[in-house]
Amino acid sequence: MTKKIAVLPGDGIGQEIVAEAVKVIDVLRADFGLDVEMEEGLVGGTAYDAKGHPLPEETLDLAKSADAVLLGAVGGYKWESLPIEVRPEKGLLGLRSGLGLFANLRPALLYPQLASASTLKPEVVSGLDIMIVRELTGGIYFGQPRGVRTLDNGEKQGFNTLVYSESEIRRIGKVAFDIAMKRDKRVCSVDKANVLECTELWREVMIEEAGARPEIELSHMYVDNAAMQLVRAPKQFDVMVTTNMFGDILSDAAAMLTGSIGMLPSASLDENGKGMYEPIHGSAPDIAGQNIANPLATILSVAMMLRYTLDEPEMAGRIEKAVNAILDQGKRTADIWTEGSEKVGTAEMGDAVVAALRG
Ligand code: NAD
Ligand code: IPM
Ligand code: MN
């Protein structure tokens, strides 16, 4: 049966990079028999401009009715002074919570051709293969109460709440342990249990859950040390599991180990494996509209979609092989460019992947 992909380009470079990912999907359909249809929707600032809301009802309905969602990015200077409830980012957060996408997989994988594109020494990053499992629908991002209030003395006070229930911790732990079973069976749970009660509970529940899986080697690390270890000796990690906010921050740091944030794809999954797929980076308003953004994170997100939701691992492999091939050819967007390689634009990079797919 034909599967439906909801395509939500969003804002800024979202438009440009998703166009390249769509080219890739089109080739898989035309040349390799991938049975999918695509339907576009509005999200983020562009949705606010057109419909007055960053997540119009029809977009959430479209996402719910689709088998998978492909998202570009949201946000931009233009919408920064809007009230927080209607800011572009709320569109993305609404999709995550509205679809129950609690498990965010962010693989930081170094393509060997890019070892010298990383700001770290090649020997520190070569062979890097980390899976960051970020909890995505809880924690301080969604905790209540939240807001800004005025105190008796007239001073304003901002507040957010870090909250996790046992079941929320347990289910993200399970996802991390399941993934680790197919990898090196090592899970590092990142918390701040020395200061925050909420993550003290996080640690307890992780230990309990790991108890049922003797094959797994579970370790714990405070988030400040984890940030340092990621840049000191990143290859010590196999799977990292952490809270919504810590995962947001650590995955941007991990991205740089792979050469550029423009290389990191992600999958956000619900209880049944339905998912939304997006690069981990944002709408990069500083480079939007210039045809210089790296589309590979988005193209690699399509590969994750094929593997995790559409059950087409062979097609996922084709994309990853094509990306390898064009990196072998020396094609680089500006963010991963190094002396001696060929600088290409966003569309040229997408075209090169398409050509490599066609062989
Ligand atoms: P960003 O990830 O958009 O950009 C950070 C830096 O990385 C910028 O210098 C940018 O040019 C560069 N960069 C990002 N993606 C790139 C790519 N594919 N190729 C080459 N360079 C790339 O983060 P930011 O600047 O902090 O945020 C900009 C906007 O994006 C904000 O509105 C923010 O809220 C939003 N944002 C959205 C998402 C998302 O939609 N998932 C993620 C992060 C940030
Ligand atoms: C990400 C982004 C989002 C997040 C923002 C835009 C809401 O930074 O996907 O990493 O913080 O989760
Ligand atoms: Mn982020």
- Exactly one of 248, 274, 331, 335 is catalytic; name it: 248
CATH superfamily for 129-257 is: Isopropylmalate Dehydrogenase (3.40.718.10)
Å from CA of 248 to ligand 3 middle: 5
CA pair distance 152, 326, nearest whole angstrom: 62
Atom of ligand 2 minimally distant from the CA of 92: 7
- The response to whether residue 75 sits with its C-beta less than 6 Å from ligand 1 reads yes
- The response to whether residue 93 sits with its C-beta less than 6 Å from ligand 2 reads yes
The reported pLDDT for the residue numbered 286 is: 97
The reported pLDDT for the residue numbered 102 is: 98
The reported pLDDT for the residue numbered 322 is: 98
Q: Is 51 a catalytic residue?
A: no
Q: Is 308 a catalytic residue?
A: no
The reported pLDDT for the residue numbered 123 is: 96
The reported pLDDT for the residue numbered 184 is: 98
CA pair distance 330, 337, nearest whole angstrom: 9
Q: Is 11 a catalytic residue?
A: no
pLDDT (tens, 9 = 90+) of the chain, 359 residues, equals 999 999 999 999 999 999 999 999 999 999 999 999 999 999 999 999 999 999 999 999 999 999 999 999 999 999 999 999 999 999 999 999 999 999 999 999 999 999 999 999 999 999 999 999 999 999 999 999 999 999 999 999 999 999 999 999 999 999 999 999 999 999 999 999 999 999 999 999 999 999 999 999 999 999 999 999 999 999 999 999 999 999 999 999 999 999 999 999 999 999 998 999 999 999 999 999 999 999 999 999 999 999 999 999 999 999 999 999 999 999 999 999 999 999 999 999 999 999 999 98
**What is the CATH topology of the domain spanning 1-109+262-359?**
Isopropylmalate Dehydrogenase (3.40.718)
Amino acid in position 251: S
Element (H, E) at 253: helix 244-257
Give Rg (Cα) of the chain. Answer: 20
The reported pLDDT for the residue numbered 241 is: 99
The reported pLDDT for the residue numbered 109 is: 97
- N-to-C CA span, the chain: 27
Residue matched to tokens 């990053």: 125
CA pair distance 238, 179, nearest whole angstrom: 10
Tokens encoding 223: 């988030």
Q: Is 252 a catalytic residue?
A: yes
Å from CA of 246 to ligand 3 middle: 10
Q: Where are the domains of the chain?
A: 1-109+262-359, 129-257
Nearest CA to ligand 1 atom 42: 282
The reported pLDDT for the residue numbered 268 is: 98
Atom of ligand 1 minimally distant from the CA of 10: 40
- The response to whether residue 280 sits with its C-beta less than 6 Å from ligand 2 reads yes
Å from CA of 211 to ligand 3 middle: 31
